[in-house]
Amino acid sequence: MTYIAQLAQVELKTVQFNGVKQSYREAGQGKTLVLLHGISSGSGSWIRQLQDLSHDFHIIAWDAPGYGESDLLNTAQPNATDYAKRLKGMLDALNLNNIILVGHSLGALQAAAFNALYPECVNALVLANVAQGYKDFDAQKQTDVFEKRPKMLIELGATGMANSRGPYLVAHATQNAMELITAVMQDISLDGFTHASYLLAYDSIQSYLQEQQKNTHVVMGMSDGITPAQDIQALADTYKFGHCYQIEDAGHLSYLDQAEQFNQILLSLK
């Protein structure tokens, strides 16, 4: 069965709280596993986890604010704590606590902020293919990062952007993977993309990490050309994280490229 066919079996749900609507996908039962996607993605990109781990976890894959059917944040200049507070509102509305929190790419920045704000809620934190952010870079670099992706979406549209960027997200650009990437990118709004780009440009994961966080696990794809493994290893070394995993032959979307290996890491955290 194709990823698109599998995705059709996982309903997109919404929940209302604090005057906002938040969308997510849900599967399974057991310990709660919360999945935060990256800047060019969405809840549907986690189909291999939603399907394959549903017997082991109660899985919640959110659509970040401005993605899917999730309302935008109420600020045009968000930092990671704004996303973390939205996530807390969603989890409270769903009566969920004591979670395993997985953040991929820009979602890792959001997840790190959530762990810093609400450590009592997080049993284990997984930072995968980490987008570290450009907070400490020069102004021109920050502007370039902020403008790059929204400009691409305007010029190419969602399908064109998927055709252009999709092959760089995976080590194996199969038809199945590319169809999923294209479908997921249809649910990115320009405003949500712009907010996420601001987060990437003007915040950094270092603002939310402490040395030797006992609950923190770092995952890197050894064929990732977007967030290279050596940069993530350097981050892990700096903060003395003891749990580091290398996934061979995995690009940026390591949880799609090598889903079985990625899922085994998550299963080890139960």
pLDDT in tens, 17-75: 999 999 999 999 999 999 999 999 999 999 999 999 999 999 999 999 999 999 999 99
Let me know if residue 161 belongs to a domain.
Answer: yes
Q: Strands 12-17 and 243-247: what pairing? A: unpaired
pLDDT of residue 149: 97
Range of the domain at 64: 15-267
Give me the CATH number covering residue 61. 3.40.50.1820
Q: Is the Cβ–Cβ distance between 241 and 124 less than 8 Å?
A: no
Once rounded to an integer, what is the mean pLDDT over residues 94-107? Answer: 97
Let me know if residue 3 belongs to a domain.
Answer: no
**What does each C-alpha distance from 184 to 21, 76, 130, 181, 198 come to in angstroms?**
19, 23, 20, 5, 21
The SS3 assignment for 221 reads strand
Burial label for 268, CB within 10 Å (0-12, 13-18, 19+), is: exposed
Say how far apart CA 27 and CA 166 lie, in whole Å.
26
Let me know if residue 111 belongs to a domain.
Answer: yes
Let me know if residue 9 belongs to a domain.
Answer: no
Let me know if residue 141 belongs to a domain.
Answer: yes
User: Each residue of 158-167: pLDDT tens digit?
Assistant: 999 999 999 9
Domain count, the chain: 1
Let me know if residue 6 belongs to a domain.
Answer: no
pLDDT of residue 242: 84
